[in-house]
Homo-oligomer: A and B are copies of this chain.
């Protein structure tokens, strides 16, 4: 059978994760990988989750082993409402403001499906989160790409591009602005309060909504928490995506959308056709865990580990890259990534062949470009390798950069 000639318009627009392809080399014992953004399994509360799992399957089997509702576990929603209040002072919501998804990825996919088509536009930053690019691209949408600065999206460029579309009578086709507000993946930057307010103001002016994706917000190592865009703009204008993947365990695959009730209804409707409902076991497991344990207390040692590893990586970069002209990196206040940029002329995608030989792995910046373009930057994740490997890895990276730079006659 010829599959190729049966593929739909959307199907033709899907692409495989390049990160997957890249990181399959990293399983070598001598390799050091700054590639994946996966948390350290030792930070998972396995004993507690194991006990609870046994209990909820044995005693709550009517719920945990049966089909559940598309919206997800009401007990877990109750816990989320408490967490949102405690973490960000967000109040005034109830369970109809929340729907759970299979990871945040499903939320991105469903939002793309509901709002984007070949006549739609949406705003993404440059660089942008790969999962969002992939989810939105499928639906044939057009992108308004706005450069990311150290304090968030370049607001002037955003305004210019939107007013241009307004002049051309196309502003109604622009559906939303997608923002990773805290410790951006991949760029590590946090959107300033000023820019958060500016984004809300722009969204109101042009009647757009904002998707605030906040998987890393609880992983802050220094500085003060900034009000979420969701809190500034309210559920009428902003939907917030969150996940337990970085603070409890990715294996649960629990993402969530918090937003206006009408918006949530739409997501529920889309999720019905997408997978009917999530596994109730995972929801109840998280709900009972949050009832019995303090997530923020649990996170303290995790945060200590990541804070230390981040420091080790930043110090190693200082020692190995300060003398490389034009190299710079973002000192993120939280999250899992450092974004390292090399001078013009570098193509970290092409350089990856050099890195493979030295068994050091990173994610080339090209992967985070909305349109496939060369990039002089790369994402370095410090969450998995032990301290000494981080130091050794940055040294190897220096060698790779010097070799590539000399070969390409950049230095």
* A253–B277 touching, CB < 8 Å: yes
Given the contacts A8-B115, A251-B281, A252-B281, A236 and B1 also touching, CB distance less than 8 Å:
yes
By secondary structure, the A interface counts as: helix
Complex interface: stretch among A83-91, A263-271, A340-348, A397-405: A263-271
Given the contacts A9-B117, A11-B114, A273-B134, A38 and B61 also touching, CB distance less than 8 Å:
no
Given the contacts A207-B1, A276-B105, A276-B131, A66 and B53 also touching, CB distance less than 8 Å:
no
Number of copies: 2
Give the Cβ gap from A99 to chain B, nearest Cβ, in Å: 13
Contact of A279 among B10, B68, B266, B279 (CB under 8 A): B279
* B279–A252 touching, CB < 8 Å: yes
A262 close to chain B: CB less than 8 A: yes
For residue A9, which residues in chain B have a CB less than 8 angstroms away from its CB?
117
Cα distance, A245 to B263, chains bound together (Å): 29
For residue A209, which residues in chain B have a CB less than 8 angstroms away from its CB?
1, 6
Cα distance, A67 to B19, chains bound together (Å): 14
Complex interface: stretch among A39-47, A215-223, A363-371: A39-47
Cα distance, A109 to B103, chains bound together (Å): 17
A184 close to chain B: CB less than 8 A: no
For residue A272, which residues in chain B have a CB less than 8 angstroms away from its CB?
16-17, 20, 134
Kindly name the residue among A5, A64, A260 whose own CB sees the greatest number of chain B CB atoms within 10 A: A64
> Closest B-chain residue to A108, C-beta based?
B273
> Closest B-chain residue to A172, C-beta based?
B5
> Closest B-chain residue to A110, C-beta based?
B274
A315 close to chain B: CB less than 8 A: no
Cα distance, A308 to B58, chains bound together (Å): 26
A175 close to chain B: CB less than 8 A: yes
A116 close to chain B: CB less than 8 A: yes
* A279–B276 touching, CB < 8 Å: no
Give the Cβ gap from A75 to chain B, nearest Cβ, in Å: 15
> Closest B-chain residue to A176, C-beta based?
B6
Given the contacts A16-B269, A275-B102, A281-B281, A66 and B207 also touching, CB distance less than 8 Å:
no
A77 close to chain B: CB less than 8 A: no
A278 close to chain B: CB less than 8 A: yes
Cα distance, A67 to B124, chains bound together (Å): 25
Contact of A50 among B20, B57, B138, B275 (CB under 8 A): B57
* B67–A41 touching, CB < 8 Å: no
Cα distance, A103 to B273, chains bound together (Å): 11
A-B pairs with beta carbons under 8 Å apart, 22 shown:
A1-B236, A8-B113, A10-B139, A14-B114, A14-B269, A14-B273, A16-B269, A20-B272, A39-B66, A46-B61, A50-B53, A50-B58, A54-B54, A67-B251, A102-B102, A103-B276, A105-B275, A109-B273, A131-B273, A251-B280, A252-B281, A275-B275
Interface residues of A (CB under 8 A from B): 1-3, 5-11, 14-17, 20, 38-39, 41, 44, 46-47, 49-51, 53-55, 57-58, 61-68, 101-103, 105-106, 109, 113-117, 120, 131, 134-135, 138-139, 172, 175, 207, 209, 236-237, 245, 249-253, 260, 262-263, 266, 269-270, 272-282
